[in-house]
Structures are given as structure tokens and as C-alpha cells.
A and B are shown apart, each in its own frame.
Chain A
Amino acid sequence: MTDAALALAVLRATRAQKLEPQDLSAARSVAPRLGRRVVEVGDGVTLGWGDGDEPQPDGTYSVYSLSRVPLVTFACCLTLCWRDRHAHPYPGRTTTRKAVLSLARALDLDDKHFKGALLHDLPGAGLVEISGNTVRLGVAIAVWPNAQIEALRRLRDRLPAPTEDTR
């Protein structure tokens, strides 16, 4: 039981980790009682929610939220990385910082604020991963509740369309 406790705590504290096999199976066995699910990402795992256990912050408790600029920046990343709307957005395709900037400019997003959002706020929240010039969707998207993904799928026309120079 202690292995599971430590493994689950590690996953919360680090967002994604590679676990030893016995820790992984311990974590998997305990996770459902908490409404959680261990999900594979890359060569490690992260902690998601079980079906039907996904949080529904309906105002009964406060949550952390992103402000407009990071959200719009994220929408640009999502547009460029989530090409096949029928599939799960994660991992999706990679794109470039230039492409995201181009799309953000088309939406009239201020360069200075956009940069902070793309390089600090979004990676910090696990929503995107930046390595060099490459931008990809982050680990948090791997466990994004299905209800949210479905909602965006239905309203995909309202996501920004990629511009010519964001191919």
C-alpha cells in the first residue's frame, strides 16, 4: 500500500513519471478508489480521471483558471496540433513556435503577452511542451476530460483556422 501511496503522490507532484513496474501496478490498483486512472504518456505515466469521475467544478468549489491570453494561445496550439478532430488531441502533431505566433498575430494577440503565455504559462500547466522551436501538446491534454474534448470537437469551427504560413 505504501508503494501505491508514494507512486500516486509522485505523479501528483511531478505530473508525469516513469515508474518501476511494481509501483505502477500498485498505483493502478489503488487509483480507481480515488476516481483516478493511470494513463500512459510517452515512456511514463500520468494521473487522469476515471470515466464518470471527471471533476465537474460547477461553482461548488473554486478552481485555478487561465486568463484570456493563455487560453487564446492554447487555442492556437490546439488548432495546429489537433489535426484529426475525430481522434484524441493527444499527442497530435507537432508545430513550430513561428506557426503559433503567426496564428496568434492573426487573432491580434499582443506579441509580448503571447510569448509569456506560450513559453511559461502553458508549459507550466502541462498544456504544451516546448523543445527548441518545436511545440507539441502537453501531458495534461492526455488526461483532459472527454466531455471537454467532445465539446470542442462539436464547436471546432470556432477554433482559429490555420493561416497560410502555418503549414
Chain B
Amino acid sequence: MTITSLDPGQETDVRAALSALELARDPVPGETFKGLSDPSLRAEVASRLQASGRVLLTADGGYFSGYDDSIADRLVEKGAGVLEPTDRAVLTLVLLLTVAVPRAKGRISGSDWTDAQPTSTDELALNRHLSKRAIRSSVRRLRAAGILPPGHGAPIAPGPQFLRLTQRRGARLWEELVLLCKPDGTMADVIRRRRRRAAQVGGER
């Protein structure tokens, strides 16, 4: 339910919420913005986000904005917003060491990417193909973008940008890690088959 016309005060509230959602480093607390605490204003915020290819998300006790899934798919097709290969490789190492291994060991629970056990450049550099130098450059860039927690010397773990991923995107990431680590198993087979089926259906449309 969206409001058809807002009074100036409501318009200000909506715009203030929008700029906060789009700019903030961490999820925005609902209480501090009328545009988020008021349900009908929040619906208006969500609607306007949708108009710009974005969606309203809840994260970490607050609100955030992220790319709409179908828009993100189109962006990927264009190569827009996709990280450079080395940065992606280093980021995968981070996920494996800080999230996958500890979760598989039962040390962490929950589905929040940022719930993680930090790693180090030394540990990342144990990968036999990536140099420490390349890793350090990637870490610097990833920190600058908030994909790892920002700041020189900040922990190496998934950062606030992960909270801008939709549920579907997060599930996709999880599947990719399974494909990476057990490419020959039944799960990998089923993942690939489902994706082939989805691609066929998409092509038929």
C-alpha cells in the first residue's frame, strides 16, 4: 500500500530515509527515521527503491537497501558491479576460512554472513596460487568498498556490504561454495541441473 500524494513533511521523511538507506555503511536503525518507522511511509520508501532497481531489506536489527534480484542479474550480464577476478578469488578465500569452516565445525550458527571468525593475510596466503602481494592489494580494495570491514587493520571477515545481499543472492553464494568444494557430488549435480532447467525456462519466456 503506497500513498498517492505526500505532504511536504512526509516527502522529506521519505527522502531522508532513502538517502540514508543508500549511503549508510551499516543498516539504518528504524527508530531514527520516520520514513522507516511509519509503515505507510516505509511502503512508499520501498516502492521508490523498486523504481530505481533496489529493494528494501531488513538486516541486523535495522533496514538496508540492496539490488533487486532481476536487476542484479541484468547488471551481471553487463559486467556492472562485478568485482575483478583476483578480488573475487580473495573474497572467496575469506568466506571459506571465516564462515564455511567455522560453521561446518559448529562454532558459529545463524545465517548472517557477518557472523564470522576473522582470518589473516598469512592464512589467506596459504593458498598455493595467490601471492601475498596480490592478496594485500585485494584486501585493501575490498576494505575500501566495505565488502570487508573498512579501515586499515580492521578484521578480515565479511563486511557490511554483505548485508545488502538479498536472501536469494545469499543462497546463491552458498550454492557456489558447495559447487567449488564438492564439484562431483550429488548436491553439485542437482544444483547444476536446477540451473539448467531455470535457464531453459527463462529462454522460453
A in complex with B: yes
Is B54 a contact partner of A33 (Cβ separation < 8 A)? no
Is B175 at the interface (CB under 8 A from chain A)? no
Is A120 a contact partner of B71 (Cβ separation < 8 A)? no
3 tightest A-B CB contacts, nearest first: A9-B53, A13-B81, A5-B53
Is B178 at the interface (CB under 8 A from chain A)? no
Is A61 a contact partner of B74 (Cβ separation < 8 A)? no
A interface residues, Cβ below 8 angstroms from B = 1, 4-6, 8-10, 12-14, 17, 30-31, 33-36, 49, 53-55, 57, 60-64, 67, 116, 120-121, 124-125
Residue of A nearest to B76 (CB): A13
For A34, the chain B residues whose CB sits under 8 A away are: 15, 18, 22, 48-49, 51-52
Is A116 a contact partner of B140 (Cβ separation < 8 A)? yes
Which residue of the partner chain, among B18, B25, B68, B78, contacts A10 with CB atoms under 8 Å?
A: B78
Is B151 at the interface (CB under 8 A from chain A)? yes
Is B3 at the interface (CB under 8 A from chain A)? no
Which residue of the partner chain, among A10, A33, A57, contacts B51 with CB atoms under 8 Å?
A: A33
Is A14 a contact partner of B20 (Cβ separation < 8 A)? no
Report the separation of the CA atoms of residues A3 and B64 in the bound assembly, to the nearest whole angstrom: 23
Is A67 a contact partner of B152 (Cβ separation < 8 A)? yes
Interface string of B29-41 (1 = CB under 8 A from A): 1001100000000
